[in-house]
Every structure is written in structure tokens, then in C-alpha cells.
Amino acid sequence: MVVTTMAADPGESLYSTFASRYVQTPLPRFKMPETAIPREAAFQIISDELMLDGNPRLNLASFVTTWMEPECDRLVMASINKNYVDMDEYPVTTELQNRCVNMIAHLFHAPIGEEEAAVGVGTVGSSEAIMLAGLAFKTKWQKKRKAQGKPFHSPNIVTGANVQVCWEKFARYFEVELKEVKLRDDFYVMDPVKAVEMVDENTICVATILGSTLTGEFEDVRLLNQLLSDKNKETGWDTPIHVDAASGGFIAPFIYPELEWDFRLPLVKSINVSGHKYGLVYAGVGWAIWRSKEDLPEELIFHINYLGSDQPTFTLNFSRGSSQIIAQYYQFIRLGFEGYRNVIENCMKNTRALRDGIAGTGRFTILSKDVGVPVVAFSLVDAGKYTVFDVSESLRRFGWIVPAYTMPPAAGHIAVLRVVIREDFSRGLAERLVSHLCKVLAELDALPGRTAAAAHLAAADAGKAAAEEEEIATFWRRLADRRKTSGVC
Ligand SMILES: Cc1ncc(COP(=O)(O)O)c(C=O)c1O
């Protein structure tokens, strides 16, 4: 976190059992130690502390890759000391990035001529890619409005209320209003009809999601394109579409090739995708791809000298690692189209097995759809005695990290659990998770519910019980509030 909080006792020290072979004095926790310690001690102290982190392979909260082949790990380690921005010094890494951009642009059906280069850039993740795409839309819209002599200070983006937090960040940091289409019961993605109704002359783009973070569902980009084209014709505007394909961008091309969601649709001007999700690379890589040069305003591009030639760049960061770009290229050539399809199809099979197991308990309603990102989102049929937050908490005991959260406003009364199926989540793990879920349900069933416990207290001491009940309620409210903003990425 950028904004840290201090422990109650800032003078607190760190003790490490095994490192005591090398150091005898405890280390201050929040101040730099006065003197050096042996490297073995530093290693041991940190390794011991990190043991308390969760196991990434059992972290079912995250779309982000937690396993790569050892050969790819070796490439990552071999390039860990290369700064990507030093293009003059590392021209091959730059070339690999350019190859990746072109491969992805072709995968997304960008209209590129035989001799033409695709327009796109490697980023730290989809969040940076979204900031860049948003800036391109804002600049283009403002330029046009200025040229027309019209006001250009109130740009907005139309999205669904299910957008990931990075869109809210973009809106706040770059002063663009986010106009969110509300969700409703049994409809947890953006409704294209309502979205197009909300478009006005200040709308810089409609942002639609291929693979909603909350349920994995694909939004209907084709219908959006059609409705928006009609509105553009009627009004004379030319409102474009951005597709946030953070997780779906490396799913749909391989297993739903007929689904039209990308540059095949004329209003789609830019797409972001996370290389570190189903692009199958460790955390730290995303991609922003534009339909054509015309969709990326020239004034946003910085030109740096690269081997005596001009290298255009468009990023928020200057320095960044090279490893993830190299790893992305490894995955592309190692797996090819067929390899990605096999991996994704396997994820979908495991998703179906898990979904059927969860549905088979008879205790949950499945909210995720059959077509979409390999995710199972499910809510308790009866949350009277305990909630999904209790289930999530109890699953921790078996090592599983399964987030529980409430849906965005208007559907905020729906609380769900979500399991993301990644390449490294096997059928065996799916079966084990279902069996642990059954154990947890049986245990929670056997406990006195929160309501029953409060009633018991009331019988013993009405006044005291009321205060305690309030305390319990506050605890749960706080817990639920905390969960609303954490766990889903
Ligand atoms: C739909 C969507 N957009 C954007 C993001 C942000 O992606 P990243 O973590 O690659 O920055 C996420 C993350 O889960 C997402 O699900």
C-alpha cells in the first residue's frame, strides 16, 4: 500500500527464532536499523515472516497468474535486472514488446495492413492500460470540442456499476465523470440499452467489460455497438467504445471465436487486456491496443531516441521491469493459439465441475454464467443463520482464500462468494474445495446462529444483551464493509 498505517507501538521490534544464530538484537520494525546484519539473517527473518502469507496457488480470489513453467521462470530471473525503458541498451526486449503488441492486435482483429504495425503498448497491468485509453478518448474529445467552439470541461464516461475500481481511479485522477448504469437483481452487468440512453454530447466513450470482475460475465458488446451506432446517426455524435477485456481478452478469442466483441465492431476503438491474468504471466503486465493511429492523439506520445531512430512511447511510468514482457512473449510462442485454447478449455471444464459440485449442495444459487471468464460466483440460498462472509472465513481454516463481497449499489443486498479458476486449479482441487465447503456448511449449521446467540443473551440480561447485540451487529457491519472493498481484483 502507498498509504501505510503505523502499529500502536511504533517502537515495536522484530524477533526471529532461527536468525538468532546470526543476530542477537531484535530489529526495529518501522525504523531503518543502525547497522548491517548478515545476509543469511536478513534472508531468514524475511522468509520466516512471509510464511504467514497465504499460499498463492490456493488464492482463489485472484485472476492473476501464480504458476509458470520453470523455463519461463528462468527467463524472468535472467531479465530481472533490465529496466524496460532503456530501449537503446535492450533493443531485443523492445522488439519482443512490439511483437507481442502485434500478436494481440491480430488476435483482436485490428484492421492492420500487411506491412503495417499495430498500435499498442505494454503496461504494468490493465489499470495503467485503462488510464492511457481513457486519456486518449478525453484528449480526442476535447480537441474536437475546442475545434467546434463548444464547452470541453465536463467529459463523462458511461459504464456499468460493476466496473473495476481502476475506472473510478481514472475518473477521479483525470477529472472525468463516471456515469454508471445501475445493476439490478439477476442482471449484474451493464445493460446496453440503458447505457446508450445515458450517452450525451459530453460522453468520451462507453466502457464495456468482457468478463465482469464480479461474476465473469461478458457484456453484450455487439448490441452496444449497434445501439450506439443508431444513436450516433441520429445525433451526429461519434461516441466510441472501449472494451475492458482485462480477463476476457485472453478467453474469448480461443474458445468463443465467433463472438464479436473486438475490433470487428466499428465503434470499438481501444481494448485493454491483462497479460498477468489469462495471458498466463506473473503479476506486472497488461496491454492497451488501439484500432488505428487515428485513435491515439499524437500529443500524448513521447518520442525517445532509440538506436538513433525514433521510439514512440505512451506510458504513465518511466522505469519498469522487462521480465513480464519477456515472459509474455515466451507464453505466446510456447503455447501458440492451440496451447492457449487447451489451457482455457481445461479451465472451463474445471469451472463446470466446481459449479456443479457447489450447485449440488443445494445450498447456493449460482450467479455466474456458462459463457464468460472461468469464474464461479455463488450466493447462499438461505443467509438467515450465517452469511457468505462466515463461509469465506471458515474456508480459510483449510487454506482456501475465497472472497466474499456484496454487489454494487442497487444490487447491494446480494452477497456472493467467488472462485476464479486459473490454469493451476486442477479438477482434484475443485473436488476438494467442494468437500471442504460441505464440511464448513455442516459446522456452521451446528453452531447457534448470530440471531439465536443474541436471543440467548437477551434472556440472560436484557440491557446488557442489547448493548452486546449492537456490538455484534457493528462488528458484522464493519466486516461486511471491509469485505466490500477488498478481495476482488
Ligand atoms: C474488468 C477488470 N478491469 C480492470 C482490472 C484491473 O486489472 P489489473 O489488475 O491488470 O490492473 C480488473 C482486475 O481484476 C478487472 O477485473
* Ligand 1 contacts CB of residue 248 (under 6 A): no
- Do the Cβ atoms of 20 and 14 come closer than 8 Å? no
Q: Which of 120, 118, 115 is nearest to 132 (CA)?
A: 120
pLDDT recorded at residue 483: 47
* Ligand 1 contacts CB of residue 164 (under 6 A): yes
| Bigger pLDDT: 397 vs 487 | 397
- Do the Cβ atoms of 340 and 423 come closer than 8 Å? no
pLDDT recorded at residue 89: 85
Residue 208 — left, alpha, or beta (φ > 0 → left; ψ -120 to 50 → alpha)? beta
Q: Which of 5-19, 30-44, 159-173 has the lowest mean pLDDT?
A: 5-19
Side chain identity at 170, as an amino acid letter? Answer: F
pLDDT recorded at residue 307: 64
What's the chain's Rg over C-alpha atoms? 25
pLDDT recorded at residue 203: 98
Q: Which of 51-60, 149-158, 331-340, 471-480 has the lowest mean pLDDT?
A: 471-480
Atom of ligand 1 nearest to the CA of 247: 16
Atom of ligand 1 nearest to the CA of 64: 9
Mutate to test the pocket of ligand 1, among 164, 270, 422 (most ligand atoms within 8 A of CB): 164
pLDDT recorded at residue 128: 97
Give 127 Cα–ligand 1 centroid separation in angstroms: 6
Is residue 86 over pLDDT 80?
Answer: yes
Is residue 316 over pLDDT 90?
Answer: yes
* Ligand 1 contacts CB of residue 244 (under 6 A): yes
* Ligand 1 contacts CB of residue 162 (under 6 A): no
Residue 359 binned pLDDT confidence (cut-offs 50, 70, 90): very high
Residue 427 binned pLDDT confidence (cut-offs 50, 70, 90): very high
Q: What is the mean pLDDT of residues 343-368?
A: 97
- Do the Cβ atoms of 59 and 401 come closer than 8 Å? yes
Give 479 Cα–ligand 1 centroid separation in angstroms: 24
Atom of ligand 1 nearest to the CA of 62: 14
With a pLDDT cut of 90, the percent of the chain lying above it is 73
Mutate to test the pocket of ligand 1, among 123, 127, 418 (most ligand atoms within 8 A of CB): 127
Please write the tens of the pLDDT for every residue from 135-180.
Answer: 999 999 999 999 999 999 999 999 999 999 999 999 999 999 999 9
Atom 13 in ligand 1: which residue has the minimum CA distance?
489
* Ligand 1 contacts CB of residue 93 (under 6 A): no
Mean pLDDT, all residues of the chain: 89
Mutate to test the pocket of ligand 1, among 208, 247, 261, 375 (most ligand atoms within 8 A of CB): 247
User: Parallel, antiparallel, or unpaired: how do β-strands 203-209 and 177-181 relate?
Assistant: unpaired
pLDDT recorded at residue 17: 66
Residue 280 — left, alpha, or beta (φ > 0 → left; ψ -120 to 50 → alpha)? left
With a pLDDT cut of 70, the percent of the chain lying above it is 88
Is residue 473 over pLDDT 50?
Answer: no
Residue 472 binned pLDDT confidence (cut-offs 50, 70, 90): very low
Residue 400 binned pLDDT confidence (cut-offs 50, 70, 90): very high
Q: Which of 58-62, 203-207, 385-389, 457-461 has the lowest mean pLDDT?
A: 457-461
* Ligand 1 contacts CB of residue 59 (under 6 A): no
Atom of ligand 1 nearest to the CA of 489: 14
- Do the Cβ atoms of 341 and 125 come closer than 8 Å? no
Please write the tens of the pLDDT for every residue from 250-306.
Answer: 999 999 999 999 999 999 999 999 999 999 999 999 999 999 999 999 999 988 776
Mutate to test the pocket of ligand 1, among 63, 121, 124, 126 (most ligand atoms within 8 A of CB): 126
Residue 27 binned pLDDT confidence (cut-offs 50, 70, 90): confident
* Ligand 1 contacts CB of residue 16 (under 6 A): no
Give 68 Cα–ligand 1 centroid separation in angstroms: 20
Atom of ligand 1 nearest to the CA of 276: 10
Residue 363 binned pLDDT confidence (cut-offs 50, 70, 90): very high
Whole-angstrom Cα distance, residue 300 to residue 390? Answer: 48
pLDDT recorded at residue 486: 40
Give CA angle at 184 (404, 229), nearest 5°. Answer: 120
Residue 459 binned pLDDT confidence (cut-offs 50, 70, 90): very low
